[in-house]
Structure 1
Amino acid sequence: LCPLERVQVLLQTSAYHDRFKNTGQILRALRVHGYREYYRGLSVVLARNSLSNALFFTLKEPFKKTVVEIRPLRNRMFIQLVADFVSGAVLGASISTVFFPLNVVKNHMQSKVGVTFENPFYVFHLVWRKRQKSLRMLYLGVHLNFTRSLLAWGITNSVYELLRRSFKPCEDDT
């Protein structure tokens, strides 16, 4: 997924709006610099994804159980669907918010083409200074990320659980 995130960042970087019009143009331009260029920022992507997935899958079931226990089980299937959505949405958005600074670092790294590769810790310090050593400034735009994550993780988790239950109808889901 890293090359796709890389393309997305470059399409969103205003410095490249005149140079790149579409995905194909970016992929061709990156190829000139070697395959490594497609994977700029990979270490940050791996850290973000592995840590956030570990947290999500560790906390998902206990959180879902808590949500299910809040409501009586009148309509079990509906409550399960709501619990899946709420647990996925709240966990996904919360975890995404915690790891938002990693996205800031990744975007900073991936918004450059053909320059020297930089250490993620060095980039963090650059961004930290650029944003006046302020947590508030570091989290600029997090409200949009939170809202997107709330919907995306809620829908993804509820659809996943719905499909999982439909393929394993005999499994007890309490």
Structure 2
Amino acid sequence: MKKKKNLLVLALLLWTISGYAAKVDTLLVKSPAMNKNVEVVVVVPDAGLGKKATACPVIYLLHGYGGNAKTWIQLKRNLPQIADEKGIIFVCPDGKNSWYWDSPKDPAYRYETFISSELVNYIDGHYKTVADRKGRAITGLSMGGHGAMWNALRHKDTFGGAGSTSVEWIFARSR
């Protein structure tokens, strides 16, 4: 009886997981400006996969201070489901504690250049995207919200939309 119950639970779990076809990639993207690889999590909807993939809009999600590339996928566990439902690619780079701007003193912190140029070019070159500012938005959590607004204002030719989110809103919505 216990084996049957365990098999049933396993079957339900597998069925639930297979309900979302979105693919979650964890990549290391080379940044020539910083001369290092940067970890990036990319969530690609089913519509953006395979030979018959359709071009998808992209939302760049920037984490807050103390976060990393996996912060958004941990906070919003249903990101693959949202990607599938809306046909959106989500890109979550590790911005360290950089505030997403280029440091005038430390060449290892050129995150504005990485986010708004190098990463966008990489994503457009490796995924089926709407490769135009009309198909790109950027938003972030706390420090990432600062970075999103900073990059959107300074790179209007790259991002067609921007937003900023507070930590309190995310935690209130996840309860």
Please classify the TM superposition score into its range, dividing by the shorter chain length: under 0.3
Specify which structure has the higher proportion of strand: 2
| Higher RCO structure (Cα 8 Å, ≥6 apart) | 1
CA radius of gyration, larger in:
1
Q: So what's the TM-score if we normalise by structure 1? A: 0.21
More helix by share: 1
- Report the TM-score when normalising by structure 2: 0.21
